[in-house]
Structure 1
Amino acid sequence: MSGAAQARVGADDAPPEPAEDCPLCPRLVEFRQDNAAKHPDWFNGAVPSFGGEDARLLIVGLAPGLQGANRTGVPFMGDFAGDLLYPTLMKFGLARGEHTPEQPHALELVDCMISNAVRCVPPANKPTTAEIKECRRFLEARSARLPNLRMILALGRIAHDSVVRTLGLKLKEAPFGHGAVHEVAGLTLVDSYHCSRYNTNTGVLTTEMFEAVIGDIAGRLRTG
């Protein structure tokens, strides 16, 4: 990570990952506990980032899905969005192994890490502004602990906005747009519409559109 970027995101006194039973957001804690009572065999905690700390690419989503990452404990694993994300990463050499939510770690990420702007599952998949801000400390610290970080892929506007604020910029300095590429704070920030069921079902995001973004990122990483 460049010195400029390190200075922007350097939350060196904060942990890069929250405790599994993170207490910071009361509404999310209550929702986690309710789900733990209903599904005691699920993960039901603050979902940690997935991937190695030698990653040059950080992929940032919104938050864990109730029956996906909140169940498996791995970002996007078991979510509908993961059914598009992980095969696409495998297609372009950014993941290998087998994509199966029943065995989340049968899949290995290559040169990338996946995290979320909010680490705990929110009711109705909608975190509040205060919850997003509260959880940003972990995105800042996580970014600062990736010494080889060169690129960030933001999946959706909320993730984009959180990343931009993490980098110490104003939103108008790097406006969100599908396929947009921003050179910010010594890093390359790439945007995509979120690979959610809603976006793919409505045609807001097609497989071809998503593959074009991931393919471009893979190409940039190959050429340094």
Structure 2
Amino acid sequence: MPAEPSSPDQPDFPAYEAARAASVPGLDERVTHCRACPRLVAWREQIAREGRRAYARWDYWARPVPGFGPDDAALLVVGLAPAAHGGNRTGRMFTGDRSGDVLYAALHGLGLASQAEATHRDDGLRLYGVRVTAPVHCAPPANKPTPGERDTCRSWLAGELRLLRPTVRALVVLGAFGWQAVLPALSAAGWVVPRPRPAFAHGAHLTLPAAGGGEDLELFGCYHVSQRNTFTGRLTTDMLTDVLSRAARAAGLRP
């Protein structure tokens, strides 16, 4: 276990804090204080200062964005990172941007969300048996975290998976970046990932046994709900709904 860091801007802050979190809400709170990646801290705060005309009256969150959803979720959905004017503005994953509009509408259509829209943290949205998170908790420039930023942030995801292990039964990864980040985090959290590591593909599905016994985890791949993918038709509503529906059934959330 890493030695105690002097402050949240130390590189080992995520590993130290994630290892000590005793609950998902406790982990979420620790996440919001992290400043371990200087480039991401500078960017998220710059975006908050500059804003965007459409959000001129917004007080931007401008901190790491924790996961969203119940702490006993059976299904986990993992994206990439908060959007600069989405989660970085609202303080909630996939909230306030078009990617979130697509994802939550699909979850609502499956009966896994209380409403189709996600506009701000107090909009009344509730998720049923589903939690949404990301391997990088700060908005990155051009939506592209570096491998080093991904690796520094990995401890938060591994900690979240560890705490969800008693209840989580299925996981949907949105995009190749998330897939690459999730696999080592799953190993750290106690699931057996095959070697060589499986490649990402839309519709990919494999079963990961729990190391030392316990429940298996059903892992699914899906193209990311980015504007580029949804506007070009690379990811359609039917494609997204199909993967989410199969994962929900594997998690015991749908018949």
TM-score of the aligned structures, taking structure 1 as reference length = 0.88
Residue 13 of structure 2 is aligned to residue 13 of structure 1: no
- 1:14 Cα deviation from its structure 2 partner: 4.3
Residue 45 of structure 2 is aligned to residue 33 of structure 1: yes
Q: Deviations over 1:168-215 (max 9, x none)?
A: 236733221111111113211111000110011222111111111112
Q: Deviations over 1:9-38 (max 9, x none)?
A: xx9724433442411101001112212322
Query: In the alignment, residue 176 of structure 1 is paired with which amino acid?
Result: F
Q: How many residues align?
A: 214
**Counterpart in the other structure of 1:4:** none
**Counterpart in the other structure of 2:248:** 218
**Counterpart in the other structure of 2:54:** none
Which deviates the most, 201-210 or 164-173?
164-173
CA contact (8 A) 2:170 2:248 kept: no
Q: Which structure 2 segments of 5+ residues have no match?
A: 1-16, 22-26, 52-57, 188-192, 210-215
The separation in 2 between residues aligned to 1:14 and 1:179, in whole angstroms, is: 35
Q: Compared with structure 1, are the counterparts of its residues 136 and 14 closer, same or farther at alpha carbon in structure 2 (3 Å cutoff)?
A: farther
CA contact (8 A) 1:47 1:73 kept: yes
Residue 210 of structure 2 is aligned to residue 192 of structure 1: no
CA contact (8 A) 2:92 2:121 kept: no
CA contact (8 A) 1:63 1:119 kept: yes
Q: Compared with structure 1, are the counterparts of its residues 72 and 175 closer, same or farther at alpha carbon in structure 2 (3 Å cutoff)?
A: same
The separation in 2 between residues aligned to 1:167 and 1:98, in whole angstroms, is: 30
CA contact (8 A) 1:14 1:138 kept: no
Q: Secondary structure at the match of 1:86?
A: helix
Query: 128, 151, 154: which one pairs with 2:146?
Result: 128
CA contact (8 A) 1:85 1:195 kept: yes
Query: 56, 60, 65: which one pairs with 1:42?
Result: 60
**Counterpart in the other structure of 2:34:** 22
Query: 189, 195, 204: which one pairs with 2:234?
Result: 204
Q: Secondary structure at the match of 2:19?
A: coil
Residue 121 of structure 2 is aligned to residue 112 of structure 1: no
CA contact (8 A) 1:98 1:106 kept: no
TM-score of the aligned structures, taking structure 2 as reference length = 0.78
The separation in 2 between residues aligned to 1:54 and 1:19, in whole angstroms, is: 18
Superposed, 1:120-199 pairs within 5 Å as: 120-146=138-164, 147-168=166-187, 169=193, 172-185=196-209, 186-199=216-229
Q: Compared with structure 1, are the counterparts of its residues 43 and 149 closer, same or farther at alpha carbon in structure 2 (3 Å cutoff)?
A: same
Identical aligned residues as a percent: 37
Query: In the alignment, residue 166 of structure 1 is paired with which amino acid?
Result: A
The separation in 2 between residues aligned to 1:99 and 1:200, in whole angstroms, is: 17
CA contact (8 A) 2:205 2:218 kept: yes
Rg bigger for which structure? Answer: 2
CA contact (8 A) 2:105 2:115 kept: no
Q: Which structure 1 segments of 5+ residues have no match?
A: 1-10
The separation in 1 between residues aligned to 2:18 and 2:151, in whole angstroms, is: 18
The separation in 1 between residues aligned to 2:60 and 2:135, in whole angstroms, is: 21
Q: Deviations over 1:116-150 (max 9, x none)?
A: 11000001111000000100000000011112011
- 1:151 Cα deviation from its structure 2 partner: 0.8
Q: Relative contact order, CA 8 A, sep 6+: which one is greater?
A: 1
CA RMSD of aligned residues (A): 2.0
Structure having the higher strand fraction is 1
